[in-house]
């Protein structure tokens, strides 16, 4: 007796579900297109015309994920915000090299493709791309049973942008006496969630529905990462340098824009620490907090004193410190 034949679906991969998913996300993807997008959806590669107006255009690329914030989204079955996080974590890096994003691609890998939740994720990516003023020109969805645990998925994002070559070197523009201005974060953003989850749900045994500052704890934790592209475009001519505050906090990210002969003085009492960080700080050492979380600061701008008023007038930023002679480090006071 011959063995019965098996199909790809028997192995855990549903081609029909994949095709259905592509059809569901087409409107979201198309909503991000601008005049530089060439072609439509479904080709082997996305095409994007190089933006005009640059004398010496340099292409920039950044890639990132969302980390264990995804685990919270999966456990809470809330998928509409992590796509925004994915875009934010990539495009916010590009502006630190004085580039602006042109297009974005995503990679979605899962044990089993669930079209509704995957569509929510991609809808969030599209929302993020619109906020970042870039086009979602492609992506890949991989259904890999046996590689991921049932119910799990992972995300990766890739942002490509353009900068003027003459504007990319920011270290030479940072001087003694420059002022440090913080742009507020929207929350934890997308770093430090392994520690946050360990504290809140294991040590303190809190639940998603617990009230925190007038809303559910899970909503506070899944607040999407702020996208700073529009703010950067308004402030670009007024700032010397900027640093995206991600994993490692202010202490490890700000030195990336500091010349070796200067140091950054950051006054902790000037930082508008968000309530979620104040709460966690009751159970975590201060030094650990500052090297893990953004503490309420999503970006730090280095600004010439003559430009400070303009930056403050055009943003929700506030002063947290200054530049002085030193050795390229950040000192918290």
| Structure tokens belonging to residue 32 | 């991000």
Residue 111: which pLDDT band, with cuts at 50, 70 and 90?
confident
More confident residue, 249 or 151: 249
What is the model's pLDDT at position 12?
66
Kindly report, residue by residue over 43-75, the tens digit of the pLDDT: 788 888 888 889 999 999 999 999 999 999 999
Listed in sequence order, the residues at least 6 apart from 213 whose beta carbon sits closer than 8 Å to its beta carbon are 220, 275, 276
The answer to whether 162 touches 61, Cβ cutoff 8 Å, is: no
CA distance 104 to 252: 27
Burial group, residue 207, by CB count within 10 angstroms (0-12, 13-18, 19+): exposed
Is residue 188 left, alpha or beta, with left meaning phi > 0 and alpha meaning psi from -120 to 50? alpha
HSE-CB of 141 using CA atoms within 13 angstroms: 21
What is the model's pLDDT at position 193?
96
Task: Report the pLDDT averaged over residues 247-260.
Answer: 94
- pLDDT over threshold 90, residue 120: yes
Domains and CATH numbers, the chain: 15-167 (3.30.1330.10), 171-332 (3.90.650.10)
What is the model's pLDDT at position 11?
57
What is the model's pLDDT at position 27?
82
For residue 286, what is the enclosing H or E element?
helix 286-290
Burial group, residue 319, by CB count within 10 angstroms (0-12, 13-18, 19+): middle
Residue of 333, 203, 214, 330 whose CA lies nearest to 276: 214
Residue of 184, 190, 187 whose CA lies nearest to 280: 187
Residue of 169, 161, 181, 120 whose CA lies nearest to 308: 181
What is the model's pLDDT at position 163?
96
- pLDDT over threshold 50, residue 1: no
Q: Tokens 């087409």 sit at which residue?
A: 26
């Amino acid at each position: 007796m011959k063995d019965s034949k098996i199909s790809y679906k028997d192995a855990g991969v549903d081609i029909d579900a994949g095709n259905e998913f592509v059809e569901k996300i087409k409107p979201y993807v198309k909503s991000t297109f601008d005049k530089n997008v060439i072609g439509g959806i479904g080709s082997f590669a996305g095409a994007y015309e190089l933006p005009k107006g640059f004398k010496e255009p340099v292409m920039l690329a950044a890639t990132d994920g969302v980390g264990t914030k995804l685990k919270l989204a999966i456990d809470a079955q809330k998928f509409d915000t992590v796509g925004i996080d994915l875009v934010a974590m990539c495009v916010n890096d590009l502006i630190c090299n004085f580039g602006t994003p042109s297009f974005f691609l995503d990679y979605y890998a899962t044990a089993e493709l669930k079209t509704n939740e995957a569509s929510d994720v991609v809808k969030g990516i599209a929302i993020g791309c619109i906020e970042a003023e870039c086009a979602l020109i492609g992506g890949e969805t991989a259904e890999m049973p046996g590689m991921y645990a049932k119910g799990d998925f992972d995300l990766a994002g890739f942002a490509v942008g353009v900068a003027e070559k003459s504007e990319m070197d920011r270290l030479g523009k940072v001087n003694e006496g420059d002022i440090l201005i913080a742009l507020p974060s929207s929350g934890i953003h997308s770093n430090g969630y392994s520690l946050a989850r360990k504290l809140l749900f294991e040590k303190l045994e809190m639940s998603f529905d617990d009230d925190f500052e007038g809303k559910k704890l899970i909503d506070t934790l899944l607040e999407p990462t702020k996208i700073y592209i529009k703010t950067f475009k308004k402030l670009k001519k007024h700032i010397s340098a900027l640093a995206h505050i991600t994993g490692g906090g202010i202490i490890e990210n700000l030195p990336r824009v500091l010349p070796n002969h200067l140091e950054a003085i950051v006054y902790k009492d000037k930082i508008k620490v968000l309530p979620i960080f104040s709460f966690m700080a009751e159970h975590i050492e201060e030094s650990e907090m500052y090297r893990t979380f953004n503490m309420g600061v999503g970006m730090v701008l280095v600004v010439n004193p003559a430009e400070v008023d303009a930056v403050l007038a055009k943003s929700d930023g506030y002063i947290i410190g200054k530049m002085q002679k030193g050795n390229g480090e950040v000192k918290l006071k």
